[in-house]
Amino acid sequence: MRLPSRGPAGYDWILTLEGDESAVDVLRSAALSPGISAPPLSPGQGIDQIFTVLAVSSGHVVIRFEQRLPFQPEEPPVDERVLDVTVEEG
């Protein structure tokens, strides 16, 4: 999942797992091509974040992505995405 950046303004994507947390691994990376350094950014421009969800074992988990200021956890997020994931063996 590709999520837009507001990093220059101090916002970050914070994720929480609800349910069977052992069902998935979530990897995070910047939206850059392999082997290529970051392009020059315009003032105020950030680099989108890529989250990859890997199935690990059977189970059900809800992954909540909240874009917020990490130093203000009591404030509501400016953006939110939710993934409802069920992993089945087979």
- Architecture of the 2-87 domain: Sandwich (2.60)
Cα 13 from Cα 37, distance rounded (Å)? 22
Work out whether strand 59-68 and strand 79-87 pair parallel, antiparallel, or are unpaired.
Answer: antiparallel
Q: Are 69 and 79 in contact (CB under 8 A)?
A: no
Dihedral, 33, 36, 37, 41 alpha carbons, nearest 10? -60
d(CA 60, CA 63): 10
Digit-coded pLDDT (tens) for 20-70: 999 999 999 887 655 555 556 566 667 889 999 999 999 999 999 999 999
The mean of the pLDDT values for the chain is: 88
Average pLDDT of 5-29? 92
Res 5 pLDDT > 90: no
pTM of the model: 0.81
The answer, yes or no, to whether residue 71 has pLDDT greater than 90, is yes
